[in-house]
Amino acid sequence: MAQILVVDDEVGIRELLSEILTDEGHDVVLAENATRARAARAAQRPDLVLLDIWMPDTDGITLLKEWSAAGQLSMPVIMMSGHGSIDTAVEATRCGAMDFLEKPIALQKLLAAVKRGLARQPVSVPAQLTLDAFIRCPPLKDLKKRLEQVAARTPLLLIKSGPGSIAELAARSLQAPGRAWIDLSAHASPLDLSALESASGGVLFAAELALLSRLQQKNLAFAVERVDKFGLRIVVASMHSAEDLASEGWDEALLRRLFEVTLAPPTLMDLRDEIPEIANQILLHLAEAGEVPPRRASTAALNALRTRAWPGGYAELRASVKSLALGALDEEIGADEVGQLLHQAPATAGSLQLDLPLRDAREAFERLYFEHHLQQEAGNMTRLAERTGLERTHLYRKLKQLGLQGGRRTDESN
């Protein structure tokens, strides 16, 4: 039959629902909190989820929103609560839940809701990832709030960008579901009224103003003049000032309009500690969209991605994650595959960068130090602990933090 994920922090309820659904011929997976539910959702891809609202780590509504934003709400979700209200049920439905069951759950209501859910057509995955997916990343949550504040007041926004820009990710977050997206830098023909009418309510985007041709500049000016008439939103980015662009022949009146409201989001360099989470969300979204087979990235692989500068910004990171997923022979992507794709040579004493912030330089040295001694001791943890002067529990924790793989805990000294 179907595979059903049951998420509830009460063991008695999990076991009861599991017994009922198993008797109905379904394959049941259990999770006691949101953390377990995330892992089960990614690994098992259930046909339906029964999700409790009140849980100790992350509540069910928040998890539902997270799945929806990440393109993982391709299965029906039935919310459950013993303290429900009409407002809670309405919010759950608005966030993507197909039904709401109040505890204690009557057997016939449960089976009827499950039957309706399994009969529903699969939900299509959003075409692109947005900032909504990063609810556990404070800098990106703050950026989303700032974008919404700006968007509520003006349809024109210029993003001050540079190496490592996340301008496109930000702009995608302002695209309403089902509305058009026009990349002006890829538009090689003149825009006309019919094109703008077709794009009504959509987003026009340019990743770098300085790269637009004369025709594309005219297209941008044409759209800016009619932004209100067609309910358009125009988001452009540039690392250059208005003065620099004017010196290259840009129309100064157009530049004044474009530079009236600006925003400077963090770059991927600023978000270095968030890159593992960003890469994981990209990987999940690509898999859900069917662009790559299901894959997961090892801690070491994510750490290797984190240490890269990403001068090409979000687009480069997304392309790299996609390439890694398509090229991986195993379900788990390893650090060696990241190194091969990005042409990262193994670190040596002479390759340490002394212009890094102290924390990053110290981490780079520690990684190099432990890689050297792991190789010298052939992964033997007992000898490694003796050589480094670290207690073994501290040593394992340090290796995990650095994304390094040691030997078995039962290693014996020779």
249-286 pLDDT per residue, tens: 999 999 999 999 999 999 998 999 999 999 999 998 89
Q: Domain boundaries in the chain? A: 3-119, 131-263, 272-342, 349-401
Q: How far apart are CA 386 and CA 266, in angstroms?
A: 42
- Which pTM value belongs to this model? 0.66
Confidence (pLDDT) at 347: 47
Host H or E run for residue 183: strand 181-183
Give the CATH architecture of domain 131-263: 3-Layer(aba) Sandwich (3.40)
Task: Label residue 356 by pLDDT band (50, 70, 90).
Answer: low
350-372 per-residue burial string, b: 16 or more CB within 10 A, e: under 16: eeeeeeeeeeeeebbeebbebee
Return left, alpha or beta for 378; rule: phi > 0 is left, psi -120 to 50 is alpha, else beta: left
Q: Do domains 3-119 and 131-263 have the same CATH topology?
A: yes
Mean confidence (pLDDT) of the chain: 87
Can you tell me the distance from the alpha carbon of 159 to that of 172, in angstroms, rounded to the nearest whole number? 13
Q: Find the distance separating the first CA and the last CA of the chain, reported in whole Å.
A: 54
Specify whether domain 272-342 bears CATH 3.30.70.20: no
Distance of CA 157 to the CA centre of its chain: 23
Question: Which class in CATH covers the domain with range 3-119?
Answer: alpha beta
CA distance 217 to 209: 8
Contact (CB, 8 A) for 359 and 396: no
pLDDT in tens, 100-126: 998 999 999 999 999 999 998 766 666
> Maximum Cα–Cα distance for the chain, whole Å?
79
The answer to whether 304 and 335 have CB atoms below 8 angstroms apart is yes
Specify the CATH class of 349-401 in words.
mainly alpha
Give strand pairing partners of 379: none
